[in-house]
A and B are shown apart, each in its own frame.
Chain A
Amino acid sequence: MASYARPVERLITELSKLPSIGPKSAQRIAFHVVRGKPDDARALAEALREVKERIHPCKRCFNLTEAEECDICTDPRRDPSVICAVEDPYDIGPIERTGEYRGLYHVLGGALSPLDGVEPEDLRIAELVERVGREETKEIVVATNPNTTGEATALFIAQELQDRPVRVTALASGLPVGGDLEYADEVTLGRAFAGRREI
């Protein structure tokens, strides 16, 4: 790596730790910041700091929120008898945009993957099972990613809930196989919701 002044090097190093930012992009972003207005840099730093200080998981569903419970959990118009389990908080946005879904969420925090050492205990599966008992949930829609690890996670959740009086469904296929929810377009995802099936 070329050597720049220490603070610039440090910024490049930090930036290249971010997902999908390689060394080249990190360098480009760093120099953009160096050249830019001081106010812009300060606003970015402030935004980064604020997000870490103020944002934390919702007590109930583990979505990200500033309050104790997130806007979805506290919205009285939402149907509390249905919970949609997703891998990550950013999977909620695409589902919300379909307009098909009016229930609550549960963020698992990933998917089962022995190769990555991810065990049920590393996910919020026990919390989900506990919620089902406490909240009188009627249906769990498992909307994990349509790939091997996401589908295995869905199967495991169904297995954990098989003795409970709750319906466990998964999104209908129609999602691009091996794809991620984040990239599914709204129409496909909307249809997948409408046609969800028992697992």
Chain B
Amino acid sequence: MSAYLRALRLVNFRNYVDATVLLAPGLNVVVGANAQGKTNLLEAISFAATGSTPRTPNDPEIILWGADFTRAEMRVSMNGDEERKIAVGYAPGQKKRLTIDGVPASSLAAYAAGGAGVRVVTFFPDDLRVVKGAPSDRREFLDSLLASLKPTYARAAAEYARAVQQRNQLLRRIRDGLSSEKTLSTWDRKVVDLGTEVLRGRTAAIGPLGSLFEDAVSALYGPEKAALGYGYSAPLDGYAEALREARGVDVERGTTSVGPHRDDFAVLFGGVSMTTYGSQGQQRLATLALKFAAREYLRGETGQDPILLFDDVMSELDEERRGYLTEYFLASTQAVISTTNLEYFDPEVIERTPIVRISGGSVL
């Protein structure tokens, strides 16, 4: 049996001063009026499981206003009877304290890539940008999925970004006559080595992810044939040449024009780009389908069902799709789903489902 969360304890996390939430396997529903702390709670679970928040790159935001640190702890049930305690402590300007049963994790990347013992798939309303937003939003989706599988991918991606920054600065220095070209091929090689690692990871994932996406779309939406199409700005076998050919333009513009940091993937329904032409509802379903595909992909790669954290996902769906989602969550190892309205669920389901009631940063 896959791991699931038994309990969460929060200190100074967003609007929670000190709260404890007990969770059960299968569906858990978090309910509360607007601005009470539902989204914050799901964010906290993700923070405890991965060591970072998917909602903002600016960590200090998650600390309760006026407090100087935050801490999130979880008790995780591993394979039935074994239990583990994981915790993340954070104070601005200091390294995060990540511990597993009191033992410090070797790195944030290792903790996030399964070191903590659980993985999560999150859906926040803002995630619609994966479909309708910029290419960087889609790359981030892929990168964080791959990073949750392998710490080496996370490192390669981070080092690649640094190498590109260095190359960009060198290009500008060459353009402005401050540097000679003699180290450019060195940086090119570094960029290509690291970029190839990133491209290999993405290339290996996009095929299986595309078919899982197709399955998810047909279950959620209908018979429309859906697909993901990765667009390479430089092909994997020809990357070094592409980078070399781009040199002239790159020096002129002071930026690296080819490589995985410029790639994108198309989200297609019946061959039509949902990024460009999707209706609001189609974009929402495509986003959900991507999250479902991510879950199946993680399950296939790790043999463990990730925990689903879906924020306010029911409100904009029709009744039939709400019913489908409810069944989907009930069949999962664990799903924590937030809503303002319990009526989005079948009353029979609600009767046998643990309900977490939230009001003003407290669990009732």
| Complexed CA–CA distance, A177 and B157 (Å) | 13
| Complexed CA–CA distance, A112 and B173 (Å) | 13
CB < 8 Å neighbour of A148 from B159, B173, B178: B159
CB < 8 Å neighbour of B185 from A117, A147, A159, A178: A159
B170 and A155 form a contact (CB under 8 A):
no
Quote the shortest CB–CB distance from B364 to chain A (angstroms).
Answer: 42
Given contacts A115-B166, A177-B155, A177-B159, 17 further A-B contacts (CB under 8 A): A113-B166, A114-B166, A114-B173, A114-B179, A114-B183, A114-B187, A115-B165, A115-B169, A120-B182, A147-B159, A148-B159, A148-B166, A149-B166, A152-B163, A152-B166, A178-B158, A178-B159
Contact-residue size bin, chain A (C-beta under 8 Å from the other chain): 10 to 19
Question: Contacts of A31 on B, CB cut-off 8 Å?
Answer: none
Give the interface of B toward A (CB within 8 A). 155, 158-159, 162-163, 165-167, 169-170, 173, 178-180, 182-183, 185-187, 189-190
| Complexed CA–CA distance, A115 and B164 (Å) | 11
Number of A-B contacts (CB under 8 A): 47
Known: A112-B183, A120-B182. A148 touches B169 (CB 8 A): no
Q: Which residue of A lies closest to B179 (CB)?
A: A119
Question: Contacts of A147 on B, CB cut-off 8 Å?
Answer: 159
| Complexed CA–CA distance, A115 and B166 (Å) | 6
* A186 part of interface (Cβ distance < 8 Å): no
Binary flags per residue of A148-166, CB closer than 8 Å to B gives 1, else 0: 1101100110010000000
Q: Which residue of B lies closest to A156 (CB)?
A: B186
Question: Contacts of A148 on B, CB cut-off 8 Å?
Answer: 159, 162-163, 166, 190
Greatest chain B CB density within 10 A among A117, A120, A155 is at: A155
Give the interface of A toward B (CB within 8 A). 112-115, 117, 119-120, 147-149, 151-152, 155-156, 159, 177-178
CB < 8 Å neighbour of B183 from A120, A177, A178: A120
| Complexed CA–CA distance, A155 and B188 (Å) | 11
Question: Contacts of B170 on A, CB cut-off 8 Å?
Answer: 114
Quote the shortest CB–CB distance from B156 to chain A (angstroms).
Answer: 9
- Can you name 12 A-B pairs with beta carbons within 8 Å? A112-B183, A113-B166, A114-B167, A114-B169, A114-B173, A115-B169, A117-B178, A119-B179, A148-B166, A156-B183, A156-B186, A159-B185
